[in-house]
Amino acid sequence: MSLFSPALTELIESLRRLPGVGNRSAQRMALHLLQRDRDGARRLARALEGAAEGISQCADCRILTEEPRCRICRSTQRDRALLCIVEGSADVFALEQATGFSGLYFVLGGRLSPLDGIGPEELGLHHLEARLSSEPISELILATNPTVEGEATAHYLFELARDYGVRATRIAHGVPMGGVLDQVDRGTLSHAFLGRRDYTGGI
């Protein structure tokens, strides 16, 4: 039997959905909001509802945005021949802050994981193929995370790029195996991005 009321239990369980938030952390957050910051709780509720209703994916790159096409894809200053493939929107934000990359992005929304039922269709790779076949892309930058699944995804993307005669490069130096891009410091990430190399399909 829960010590908390049904509404408080629901709030705690909802907060536990956040990455890295366990039961005790969720309890502390919920109690803080209700005991010390009710205005903040209402503001958070409004912001979450507004974001859930108003934010979707860019039609071109699939980054989270409130507009049909994001500001990066709409920009006339970006190099449309360079397309960087990342696993999530957080990786775009990390690369934009840490590097001088001036090209475009494609957000997979995950990585290939057959055991979890995540294949090419779930990652929207048919959209990527459509871009490769219709846009003047000369380089596909594979910036998936250096995990086992990330490397397998990079290999699949390399094969896809080769089918369309597009050069594939892989970010390199400094990102540790098993690392996650949006948790790597800016200096390391910038060095890795600038030091990208031609990808040969090895895992």
In whole numbers, what is the pLDDT of the chain averaged over residues?
A: 88
With respect to residue 174, please indicate whether it lies within any of the assigned structural domains. Answer: yes
Q: Determine the structural domain holding residue 28 and report its residue range.
A: 6-54
Do residues 89 and 130 both lie within one domain?
Answer: yes
pTM for the model stands at 0.76
Identify whether the C-beta of residue 169 lies closer than 8 Å to the C-beta of residue 142. yes
Highest mean predicted confidence (pLDDT) among 92-101, 141-150, 158-167: 158-167
Radius of gyration of the chain (CA): 20
Query: How many structural domains compose the chain?
Result: 2
Q: Is residue 130 within 8 Å of residue 105, measured between CB atoms?
A: no
- Predicted confidence band of residue 101 (pLDDT cuts 50, 70, 90): very high
CATH number at residue 88: 3.40.1360.10
pLDDT digits (tens, 9 = 90+) for 13-43: 999 999 899 999 999 999 999 999 999 999 9
Q: Is residue 1 part of a domain?
A: no
The answer to whether residues 11 and 105 belong to one domain is no
